[in-house]
Structure 1
């Protein structure tokens, strides 16, 4: 598991497009000593940017003809062509899912907070204490509390650092604050309250919700998924997006009317299941994006 590889920088506005463009133009970009000069960021910021792009699963490191480089993944190519400026919440929600899924073992604190940590409202010190306890129980080696505190700080800023409405030149906000999955209620005593927020379906978008379901189907090779699983199982809609059962049912009802890939409700052993279409997550995503 990985900790504090973000250099204490949450993703800033415009970083995503800058990073994908740099990799698309030069696979050796992140290995170049003076890459920070060409992209206009500090050295630590460039390291942070590389971290985020790998954690999002939009770039990967490969060796071609004996030379290491970074290349856009299929997801990276798709988002680079369609929404590299992160103007749509659907794009943010898909990238959020990949952070919480943590397939590349880069974003442990995101996986932990959304999938394993059950409290919905907690003081910041208690949140850190819970993370420290969980890491100590799941890591063979000792991880410094300083690193874990940087992870918690970054996690909170990632979802709560909204634009300054009084400053149109503000560039240090995080675009993921638009998903409104977390709220930080400030206290002058250092005991800020961190709350998980249940968003409206429209603010996340129906496309990411189906993308997550299809990703689960592909990863687990299942034909049916129960509504209870969708609500309570790790890496599915209830955990990933803090969705209630009512919100999940609302989304599933919308997906029964999908023009190309409608889902079906199936009742088995007095439990409600859904049956998804047979399409890969990336093919589904491309088909939706082609609609404009």
Structure 2
């Protein structure tokens, strides 16, 4: 039987590394070309500044984002290795070199919210563990401080505040009357409209502040192939040898498809039922009002593995 404790033990989290910058649209294609030409480029910050045309702190930030979004991973030889996803999207004849396909953006979001190791804390907590329908910046920051202390850290309020702001700017447009030119350059994941402002309320000191909520509704631009990929990816990373996984984990576990994509329970169940009727995916849906299970053969069937290794058929 699937044991979620192996996935939830006591993982480490990243509270910094992004240098207070959310990822920008042009950064990932630039990083791909730079690493393809010189795999050690990010280990020479001066050369990277010249090649990428950005400042030193932005170079460090981009190094964080290419790892967290699954574009390239550092090796023991002080180099970066580009992933299959990176080649599929940005390589010669790439399917989406300018990040115009929403499926690509959802896949980047999936990597960031579920696959990154160690996980960025704000993504793990706000997407996977926040217990309320809405949050304000003050409420989230107070929760960050409590969780940081519980994990044995002593992060300053500045560090936690900057980390929260990077999360907000990743998904919510920074454009506004008070934003400078640089601060108003939105990143690609803003296009997902995953995070929305639902209103305002008075915080501490009587000041009005924005209230945010995730858009929890069916999302047609998350295709069945993409959703199937994320189910298999989650399964492979958390319980690679298990033949069954409870539906409730797909629905509500931190880093699982239901939570990462903020999909309603009925939508997830309908998707799983539909996908189980297609033999290519290699799993069967056994519904139950109490639990419900997905079952599969181990290892993954050849056809399902093809879908899995093709990064959710993003080319399709």
TM range (shorter): 0.7 to 0.9
Alignment of 1:178-197 (within 5 A): 178-185=191-198, 187=200, 189-197=207-215
Contact kept in structure 2, 1:58 and 1:76, CA below 8 Å: yes
**Does 1:56 find its partner at 2:88?**
no
Distance 1:281 1:118 in 2: 34
Superposition deviation, residue 257 in structure 1: 4.5
Superposition deviation, residue 282 in structure 1: 7.3
**Does 1:89 find its partner at 2:108?**
no
- Tell me the TM-score normalised to structure 2 length: 0.79
Contact kept in structure 2, 1:54 and 1:60, CA below 8 Å: yes
**Runs ≥4 in structure 1, deviation > 6 angstroms?**
none
Q: What is aligned with 2:292? A: 272
Q: Deviations over 1:208-230 (max 9, x none)?
A: 32122101221212222232222
Residues 291/159 of structure 1: CA separation in 2 closer, same or farther (3 Å cut) = closer
- Give secondary structure in 2 for the equivalent of 1:234: coil
- Tell me the TM-score normalised to structure 1 length: 0.85
Residues 282/22 of structure 1: CA separation in 2 closer, same or farther (3 Å cut) = farther
**Does 1:80 find its partner at 2:86?**
no
- Give secondary structure in 2 for the equivalent of 1:195: strand
Give the counterpart of 1:176 among 174, 189, 203.
189
Q: What is aligned with 2:136? A: 123
**Does 1:289 find its partner at 2:313?**
yes
Distance 1:226 1:132 in 2: 32
Residues 242/106 of structure 1: CA separation in 2 closer, same or farther (3 Å cut) = closer
Alignment of 1:1-292 (within 5 A): 1-32=13-44, 33-64=46-77, 68-81=78-91, 82-101=95-114, 103-138=116-151, 140-161=152-173, 172-185=185-198, 187=200, 189-219=207-237, 220-221=239-240, 222-258=242-278, 260-261=280-281, 263-266=283-286, 271-276=291-296, 278-279=300-301, 283-286=307-310, 289=313, 292=316
- Give secondary structure in 2 for the equivalent of 1:204: coil
CA-atom RMSD in angstroms? 2.9
Superposition deviation, residue 273 in structure 1: 1.8
Contact kept in structure 2, 1:11 and 1:158, CA below 8 Å: yes
- Which ranges of structure 1 fall in alignment gaps of 5 or more residues? none
Residues 186/36 of structure 1: CA separation in 2 closer, same or farther (3 Å cut) = farther
